[in-house]
Structure 1
Amino acid sequence: MPRESYRERALVIRTYDLGEADRIIVFLTQHRGLVRGVAKGVRRARSRFGSRLQPFVELDVQFYVGRELESVTAADTVGFYGSGIIDNITCYTAASAVLEAAERLSLAHDEHDDRLYPLVVDTLKQLQHAPEPKLRLDTFLLQAMTVAGWAPSLYYCAQCQAPGPHHAFHPRTGGAVCGTCRPPKAADVNPEVLHAMWLLQHDRWAEAITLITAQEQGASARESSESVTHEIPCATAIHRLTKAHWQWHTERKLASLMVLDQT
């Protein structure tokens, strides 16, 4: 009886060498979530498609169903997003964090959500020419957490739903919190930081950049004209809060994100 086969759009998440010439590949697919497959002979110099099975390449993959691993028999390039990413360490680590986060979300949920795949592809495209790769990653994480169902509340109090603006943020509570519901160790936050995060969460990039730029220019002007305490830049605050919320709800750190923060 012939084995069942299917084709899927897919991105390579990670790879493992197997034996002398084979490779195990973890794919994020458009409609089936994570798929693990083995590509036989792809590490040989004469492999027909081994060079395509790399991160940041979107593929049309032919799979044959196996007992534990699918067999990968063909892979045609749909889009190559490595240009502008692999030659920039900040963009590269941000893009790697996107793939790692996508894998984490897929593993954490039994049911696949078709919104995740196009979100990953779009983010990789943006990172090819992003002037703010870390902010692009934060945008992806905020939107991916929305897909997962545990996005931070950024206007209403996460505890009592009182409308904002609010001045505190606490991941365990669920995001922004009002003065009444504020728990111990909640972070003090400028309401405009939460506003910028809300804009990023809702894919309003241009408005968010305008707001972030205005906030950081205003902070710089205040520091140069007055004796005030140094303010955390708006983009830095966004990154810290987004990362804290992600890590609280996944209970694990992203290795690529830790590298990114050191660049």
Structure 2
Amino acid sequence: MSLFRDQGVVLRTHKLGEADRIITLLTRQRGLVRAAAKGVRKTSSRFGGRLEPFMHVDLQLAEGRTLDVITQVVTLSAFARDLGLDYPAYTAGTAILETAERLTPHDGEPAVQQYQLLVGALAALSARRQPPSTLLDSYQLRALAVAGYAPSFSGCARCGLEGPHRNLHVPSGGVLCDGCRLPGSSAPPAVTLTLLAALLAGDWPVVEQADDRTRREAAGIVSAYLSWHLEHGLRSMGHVDR
């Protein structure tokens, strides 16, 4: 039986048989991995608590025909402990985990950027560096960019003409100039587009200057953009505390 090691974040779990679980992880070297954890639902399990959603772990797995099998687990960061005590952070974190799973291909290839982005987002959420919903919006924009769907909030998404532009068209990938404007375009305030660009770039001094109304408008645009590329929304978004 071939063994391999990797680092990953537990995205979700579900029951398998009477005592086992299937663990879905975003790993550094193999992207999305679904693996069986034998006996983790027993009270005598050595590492059941290390394989809960949000846990950042180093693990050893044995390759299997249909599912790999987890044989060793070492905790790197216990994000589950920190986020479980804060409802807004927990709900934002749940949406972050679902976003990571939906945007990472199931092809077994390394997903280093998505992995690092996820770990960084959970660390920031655990440390309360920004409001949870703000960190969620920033994470989702960055995860979309890593996946190849980077939105444009300055130059025209169709012709590349430098902005600023006010015509936002989600299916086109961002703002459009007046010459490229399409039916269905909206015209959000300039401060909202400035906030969106700052969330994508991680420009926190600019983000912190935004008022609540601007943050809500930006959050709606992020959600619409994500839903467009995923073809439908995330189930967890309905529980996010804004």
Q: Is the 8 A contact 1:102 1:120 kept in 2?
A: yes
Runs of 5+ unmatched residues, structure 2: none
After superposition, give the CA deviation of every residue in 1:63-87 in whole Å (9 maximum; x if it has no partner): 0000110011111111111344212
For 1:1-263, list aligned pairs within 5 A: 3-107=1-105, 111-128=109-126, 129-210=128-209, 212-213=210-211, 233-260=213-240
Question: 1:113 and 1:46 mapped to 2: Cα distance?
Answer: 33
Distance 1:110 1:195, change over 3 A: farther
How far residue 113 of structure 1 moved from its aligned partner, in angstroms, is 3.2
Q: Alpha-carbon deviation of 1:205? A: 1.7
C-alpha offsets along residues 173-211 of structure 1, whole Å, 9 cap, x if unaligned? 11111222221221211122212211221122223223x
Shift of 1:160: 1.8
CA distance in structure 1 between the aligned counterparts of 2:200 and 2:92, rounded to whole angstroms: 17
| CA deviation after TM superposition for structure 1 residue 259, in Å | 1.9
Q: Is the 8 A contact 1:106 1:112 kept in 2?
A: no
Q: Is the CA contact 1:168–1:176 (under 8 Å) kept in the aligned structure 2?
A: yes
Paired with 2:110 and 2:226, the residues of 1 have a C-alpha distance of 19
Q: Counterpart amino acid of 1:190?
A: P
Q: How far apart are the structure 2 equivalents of 1:92 and 1:114? A: 24
Asked whether the 8 Å contact 1:158–1:175 carries over to 2, the reply is yes
Q: Distance in 2 between matches of 1:205 and 1:4?
A: 45
What's the CA shift for 1:131? 4.4
| Structure of larger gyration radius | 1
Aligned partners of 2:60 and 2:70 also within 8 Å: yes
Q: Which has the higher contact order (CA 8 A, sep 6+)?
A: 2
Give the whole-Å Cα distance in 2 for the aligned partners of 1:16 and 1:58.
18
Write the deviation string for residues 39-93 of structure 1: whole angstroms up to 9, x where unpaired: 1111111111111111111111110000110011111111111344212222111
Q: Describe the SS at the equivalent of 2:183.
A: coil
Q: Does the aligned pair in 1 maintain the 2:30–2:108 contact within 8 Å?
A: no
Residue 46 of structure 1 aligns to a residue whose secondary structure is coil
TM score, norm. by length of structure 2: 0.94
After superposition, what is the alpha-carbon deviation per residue over 1:110-161, rounded to whole angstroms, capped at 9, x for unaligned? 7543111011011111112144111110100111111011111110011221
Name the aligned partner's letter for residue 169 of structure 1: L
Change (3 A) 1:149 1:175: same
SS in 2 for 1:42: coil
Aligned length: 241
Instruction: Verify the 8 A CA contact 1:113 1:147 in the aligned structure 2.
Output: no
Identity over aligned residues, as a percent?
Answer: 37
Post-superposition shift, 1:17? 0.7
Q: Which runs of 4+ in 1 moved over 6 A?
A: none
SS in 2 for 1:243: helix
Q: 1:132 to 1:80 in 2, by over 3 A?
A: same
8 Å CA contact 2:31–2:107 kept in 1: the answer is no
Amino acid at match of 1:243: S
Offset of 1:238 from its aligned partner?
0.9
